[in-house]
Amino acid sequence: MHHRSRPFCSTLLFVALSAAPGFAGQRAVPAVGNRTPLFEADVRPVLLRKCGACHSASGRAGLDIRTPGSLKQGGHAGAAVHAGSPDTSPLVTAIEQHRMPPAGSGDPVTKAELQIIKNWIAAGAHANGSSVGHWAYTPPVSSSPPSVLVPFVTPSNPIDRFLLSELKKQGLSFSGMAAPRARIRRLYIDLVGELPTPAETDAFASNPTPQAWGQIIDRLLSDPRYGERWARYWLDTAGYADSEGVLEEDRIRPNAWRYRDYVIKSVNTDLPYDRFLMEQIAGDELARYRTANSWSDSIGSCLTATGFLRTAVDATRDDFNTHQFVEYQYRMLHDTQTILISSTLGVTLQCARCHDHKYEPFTQRDYYGIQAILNGAIRPEGALLPSARRQVLAASVSEQKQIKDENAAADADKADAEKQLEQLRSKTLRQYFESRLAYVPVAERPALIDALATLVAKQRADQKALLAKWKGLTVPSEDQLSAAIPTFKAATDSLKQRIAAAVAKHRDIPEMRAIYDQDAAPPPSHILLRGEYLKPGDVVLPGIPAVLGRNSRYEPAKDVEPGTTGRRLALARWIVNPTNPLTARVEVNRIWAHHFGEGIVATLDNLGQSGAVPTNQKLLDWLSVQFVRGAGGAGPWSRKAIHRLICTSQAYQQSSDLNPKGAGALRDPEDRLLWRQRTIRLDAETLRDTMLQMSNDLDPIMFGEPVGEDTRPTGEVVAAGEDGKGRRSIYLLVRRSKSVSFLNAFDAPVMETNCTRRVASSTAVQALAVMNGTFTAARAARLATVIASAGNIPQQIQTAFQRVFQRAPTATELKQSQDFLQNQAKAFAGAPGAKGTEADWQKRAFEDFCLALLSSNEFLYVD
Amino acid sequence: MASDTRQELINLISRRELFSSLGQGAGALALAMLLAEQNATAQSRYTLTPKKPPLPVKAKRVIYLFQNGGPSQVDLFDPKPELRNQDGKKPGTGFVNDVDVKKTGTWLGSPFAFHRHGSCGMELSELLPGLGGHADSIALIRSMVSEHENHEQACCHMHTGMPQAGRPTFGAWVTYGLGTPNQNLPAYVALLNPAGMPVDGSRNWSSGWMPPLYQGMPVRASADSPILNLNIHGPQAAADHRLAFLQTLNKEHLKNHPGNLDLEARITNFELAAHMQLEATDALDLKKETAATHAAYGLDKPETEVYARQCLMARRLAERGVRFVQVMMTGQPWDTHSDNSNQLKSLCKSTDKPVAALLADLKQRGMLEDTLVIWTGEFGRTPFAEGKDGRDHHKRGFSMWMAGGGIKGGTVHGATDEFGYSAVQDIVTVADLHGTILQLLGLDYRSLSYRFDSRDQRLTDVHPVSIVKQILA
């Protein structure tokens, strides 16, 4: 039997990859001297000249110096190069100690050459050294916005100046300002995920000044719905779900929703993004919760935030075999790491799990350096039992003790009161029975007492009959007892009150799904050869990718409480350090993408060399620097400030109209330079939410346990009660194996790892869902009721258009609508077997009219 | 079978008819829509328009009969006289139950007789007389291996190429790679037993990280409401009006958005949906089949009725151009942990006849030439007993068969050891199987890729693949 389970990497795969868009772009190569040496250009020639005679194809001592891979693999004596660590690399020590090249066999390596080799190793010993100089791996530099003179445009917003400067090179400019109605609709959908009311639309349309625009932006940014809207994007990249995602059972994850609420709150309060990330990556270490004397909301918030590192699919189960358990834990760890790095740094470090990255300067050592940071908390082979659910109690240790003591006292009081109540009841029963025994014939009395004293299971038929006969006597109601024995009621009431008070006193401490280190000294972490956990390689220290750490050193944080490693806190600090080249760019790019439909770098999760080329790198860098410093008078890392900058730009407010024969369509058909706004389809959640809003069914209540789902006999998964109790979609249960069919049809992601980018497909299934689905039918019926009070038919049509489209119908549309209502009522009346009144047909015609509006492109798309 | 081009032409014509029924002005609208559709499909990244595959096409469509639970190879496909000889004896070292070593029972010989069938002389169990009649049409692989001994992971592995959930099924890959000739029907159908979902539900036909466009559309093999949201509410005339009014609104809107392909595509999709209502309803209406056909499949007998319905619907859908039909059973019926023999008797009684009838029907209609029929479970079962009379999950060696387009009928490929425990000769992995299936459809497992997670993903990912050439015609 031949063994073939080991995966390999096909060359074909990578041939295909190298053709990826953007691969050839933006490759700045500075002069040698102040840049990192490149293997092909700088290192390989030296090694070939000085060492190649013996250590190439012939491979003396098993060593082949021709590729970075073979150098790291080394020869019989082990690895020749340790990436990132020149001083411990045998290649370097052999040269420094003049052991190699051996005396008499050619020229020695010069000092300058050795320095090149050492620098190359220090930078990570990459094959593709060229990407080290990739723009995204060096910190952004803010250039001043270019001054541009374009007819009819007065670019006061720097964003516009950056964009216009590029557009001008193509002989292009912005499109005209979009109509007020289109703008306010766009803004509402973008910022709060709902539509403006007719009154809000009218107010702006009658006064569409920049001041009014700015005020609406400010109002919407402080609207709680803003947090619900923008938290969704972060929850996508964080891979948020309410279920474990494993097997048929796909069990519900208790308390995951607290993290969802944390994100919504943080977005709403504009928690500075650096703090937002730090809390999510190392909230436990930041809050020092273990040694805190008293619990505070801030501690709770910090711990809840670490739910970010607990979103991955988790196979932790008691009934898994131990060997499988380890395998699944490694998968969970890998996914967690992927989520952490792709969402914050926007690079594809996950590709370096089994081998050095083929296109980015990331080594396997870099990958396992990050893994070692997480190993403080997640240890696939550690001592945690599968059943450990890893929840943290929201109270300090001393508070927990106090609450425990108080609960014990309350519980004891309750037990005592219950006992007394029980005694009182039996005593009263006896009194009652004895007082009523007189009614029983003397002859039957001994038998009755006997029957009462017999266990129910052992009662004979005649005993049962006797008890039934005297039921009123043996099983009196509370009322009968109270009537017979006057003190009974007062006594029981007082005891019942005591029990209720004791129950109320018992405090449950909320649990949080959090991450925390298991202890301060984890066992050594290893590089896993080919990513296989059964093949541990070198020990690896916690660390950050060498190429990104050129300006900083990684060391676990020392200012942490005992019992934790400080590894994640140090990582978090490094990620949010203003010199980190990626963090700000990634977030700014993400915000941009959700306002314009595309990022400045289209690949939101990959700003690396293999990602897309930025359409305007200077703009991205300027925005990133503004973000870190604080834009427009806001504090550092304010996301609301970036929204404000973007939404006040002309680029954002311009029309999305497309003239297929215009200059823009010809010169920049993909609109990469933004000569027009883009038409965007509502995402699944926004579509559902706005439909609920239109039918007056949207419940504005925020936060809390998720609303569950139901599976119908047809296999359709619906939010509980069909409309999910009118809650916004962000509060619906995210069960990985059972996504709500309506949301799924409109491309809501099934959360397998995380979702860094959604698609907006257009399918017949969507058409069926809106035309024939019960959710939309219910919305249409309710909307028809809402507009029914508007007056006569034309007024109702007017109202419906205003409400759904934020505009009045044209004369043609009004006529078409009226004709439709008339014909449709006739169609219902004339259908075979139709039963009902004229009013019924009218009503159903109006429902169909509303369904058509809610199914229309104008409703589904934002201009 | 009519050529795909002809089928498309028929679709176009019938859609024109539909449009003309929409009332005044709809004819011009229809034409505009058709043109719009061509534009949209030419430029949009994700579509279901038929694509020309890179390799020679042996099969144009797939009927995938998935046998959830893990059918027992030694009772159905892989005769082991030595197992019978050793019945009741303790297996030697090296023969363990992967699910739980402690549950390794004694050898359990099959109580069923095996007979030779067809001119090829393929040995099959007495439980499969119907399939026996098609021995010369099928290629039987007796050396399948899986990577996992749990249902969910093994099912995932068989459907998606990886035991971990989250990737697209191979039905989704085929749909992505080939599109579909008939836009009025879903490209990829998951044909379900109306009694209930299979274990792991919709993951069995998920498009994973691909757009939902490529996921299987669940169709319940029942007379009423087989497709979600397919039934219109209210009278047909009202539904037609409603659609016409909606399209009027959309047309007005489009006037102000010239050249917007997304909007045009969505207008078209409403027409497609309306058409799907007619065509799918027709396709799934088994009353249109003769009594003789009903009897041949076993629709008239309670024990075969459900699977017969699924098989006959599968044929009708395949006939109308559905690219991939995946027939699923409720729960995991082949999971015979106890009373293995009796359970197999009843399972074969309910499925063997419909499957045989499907093969005969396809053959008779000339469809078997270019339809690939796949019959497999996620793994097999232990040759030793679990408890008294059951068999446990088994990944080290099991059997499956394929028939139709590009398959060399009458082939037996690979072998297990004398007990039917380990595949020992010509081992076929799931990746080998997937690579081979793609090749039969004209797709190359090496080049069919979808970009996700910054990587060009493939069905077989980085697993080595050997095309199973021995079973190819």
pLDDT in tens, B420-445: 999 999 999 999 999 999 999 999 99
What pLDDT, on a 0 to 100 scale, did the predictor assign at position A422? 85
Task: Count Cα neighbours of B241 within 13 Å in the Cβ-side half-sphere.
Answer: 26
Q: Across the interface, which of A679, A741, A759 has its CB nearest the CB of B257? A: A679
pLDDT of residue A433: 77
Say whether A769 sits in a helix, a strand or coil.
Answer: helix
**Is B164 within 8 Å of A331 when comparing Cβ atoms?**
yes
Taking phi over 0 as left and psi of -120 to 50 as alpha, with beta for the rest, A346 belongs to left
Q: Is the pLDDT of residue A3 over 50?
A: no
Can you tell me the mean pLDDT for A400-411? 90
Give the domain extent around A293: 272-394+514-576
The answer on pLDDT for A613 being more than 50 is yes
In a domain, A204, yes or no: no
Q: How far apart are CA A358 and CA A67, in angstroms?
A: 13
Q: Using the 3D structure, point to which of A479, A505, A531 is the last residue of a domain.
A: A505
Give the pLDDT mean for B10-17.
38
Nearest CA distance, A768 vs chain B (angstrom): 6
* Distance between CA atoms of residues B248 and B239, nearest Å: 14
A291 and A379 assigned to the same domain? yes
Which residues from A are below 8 Å from B233, CB to CB? 772, 777
Show residues of chain B in contact with A813, CB under 8 Å. 249, 252
Can you tell me the distance from the alpha carbon of B191 to that of B203, in angstroms, rounded to the nearest whole number? 14
Separation of CA A740 from chain center: 17
Is there a single domain that holds both residue A498 and residue A544?
Answer: no
User: B191 to each of A275, B204, B217, B352, how far by Cα in Å?
Assistant: 50, 11, 8, 18
User: Considering only alpha carbons, which residue of chain A is nearest residue B249?
Assistant: A856
Inside any domain, residue A181: no
Which residues have a Cβ under 8 Å from the Cβ of A99 and sit 6 or more positions away? none
Cβ-defined contact of B263 to A679 (cutoff 8 Å): yes
Given this model, what pLDDT does residue B261 score? 73
Q: Looking at the complex, does the CB of residue A599 fall below 8 Å from at least one CB of chain B?
A: no
pLDDT at A324: 66
Residues whose CB falls within 8 Å of the CB of residue A418, separated by 6 or more in sequence, listed in order: A495, A499
Instruction: Answer whether A665 touches B (CB < 8 Å).
Output: yes
User: Does residue B265 surpass a pLDDT of 60?
Assistant: yes
Q: Are residues A282 and A383 in the same domain?
A: yes
Do A535 and A562 have their domain in common? yes
Average pLDDT rounded to a whole number, residues A740-762: 81
Tokens matching residue B426 = 């010509």
A303 domain residue, yes or no:
yes
Contact (CB, 8 A) for B68 and B332 = yes
CB contact under 8 A, A762 and B265: yes
Task: State the average pLDDT over residues A433-448.
Answer: 80
Domain identity same for A296 and A377: yes
Inform me whether the pLDDT recorded for A834 exceeds 90: no
* Pairing mode, strands B61-66 and B371-376: parallel
A384, A519: one domain = yes
Name the closest residue on chain B to residue A6, using Cα atoms: B463
pLDDT computed for residue A154 by the predictor? 63
Give B50-81 as a DSSP string: ----SS--S-SEEEEEE-TT---HHHHT---H
3 state DSSP class of A153 = strand
Q: What is the 3-state secondary structure (H, E, C) of A480-543?
A: HHHHHCCHHHHHHHHHHHHHHHHHHHCCCCCEEECCCCCCCCCCCEEEEHHHCCCCEEEEECCC
With CB atoms and an 8 Å threshold, state whether B454 touches A348. yes
> How far apart, in whole angstroms, are the C-alpha atoms of residue A73 and residue A78?
7
Q: Verify that A319 and A459 share a domain, yes or no.
A: no
Judged against a pLDDT cut of 60, whether residue A9 lies above it is answered with no
pLDDT at site A367: 94
In degrees and rounded to multiples of 5, residue A712 shows phi and psi of -85, 165
Q: Give me the total of CB pairs closer than 8 Å, taking one residue from chain A and one from chain B.
A: 232
Measured between alpha carbons, how far is B330 from B221 in angstroms, rounded to an integer?
Answer: 12
Reported as a pLDDT band with limits 50, 70 and 90, residue A380 is confident
Sign for the pseudo-dihedral over CA of B23, B24, B26, B28: positive
**Joined tokens for residue A501:** 């008070």
A151 domain residue, yes or no: no
Residue A742 in domain: no
H or E element in which residue A593 lies: helix A583-596
Confirm whether A160 is domain-assigned.
no
The answer on A527 and A379 residing in a single domain is yes
For residue A683, being part of any structural domain is answered with: no
- The mean of the pLDDT values for chain A is 85
- Please report which helix (H) or strand (E) contains residue A200, including its range: helix A198-205
pLDDT value, residue A152: 61
Residue A430 is predicted with a pLDDT of: 77
List the structure tokens of B385.
């007993």
Q: How many whole angstroms separate alpha carbon B146 and alpha carbon B355?
A: 24
Nearest residue, CB atoms, B262 vs list A10, A762, A831: A762
For residues A780 and A812, state if they share a domain.
yes
A357 close to A608: Cβ distance less than 8 angstroms = no
Token duo for residue A676: 């027009």
Q: Which helix (H) or strand (E) holds B116?
A: strand B114-117
Residues A401 and A535 in one domain: no
Structural domain total, chain A: 4
**In this model, does residue A57 exceed pLDDT 70?**
no
Who wins on pLDDT, B352 or A352? B352
Alpha-carbon distance of A854 to B158, in angstroms, equals 41
If asked whether residues A376 and A521 sit together in one domain, one would say yes
The shortest C-alpha distance from B58 to chain A (Å) reads 24
Percent of chain B topping pLDDT 90: 60
**Domain ranges within chain B, ordered by starting residue:** 1-43+233-283, 57-227+291-471
Closest CA to B266 of A203, A490, A769: A769
Least CB–CB distance from A767: residue in B44, B235, B273: B273
In sequence order, which ranges of A356-460 are alpha helices (DSSP H)? Answer: 364-374, 397-436, 445-453
CATH homologous superfamily for the domain B57-227+291-471: Alkaline Phosphatase, subunit A (3.40.720.10)
Contact B212 A761 (CB under 8 A): yes
- Residue A755 — pLDDT band, cuts 50, 70, 90? confident
Whether A322 contacts chain B with CB within 8 A: no
**Is B210 within 8 Å of B172 (Cβ atoms)?**
yes
Q: What is the mean pLDDT of chain B?
A: 86
From CA B326, how far away is CA B217, in angstroms rounded?
A: 10
Closest CB to A824 among B218, B238, B456: B238
Spell out which residues of chain B touch residue A3, defining contact as CB-CB under 8 Å: none
Task: Identify the H or E element spanning B192.
Answer: strand B188-192
On whether both A523 and A498 belong to a single domain, the answer is no
Average pLDDT over residues B246-266: 84
Of A525, A554, A576, the position where a domain reaches its end is A576
| Domain-ending residue, one of A505, A535, A568 | A505
CA distance A139 to A124: 19
pLDDT at B40: 37
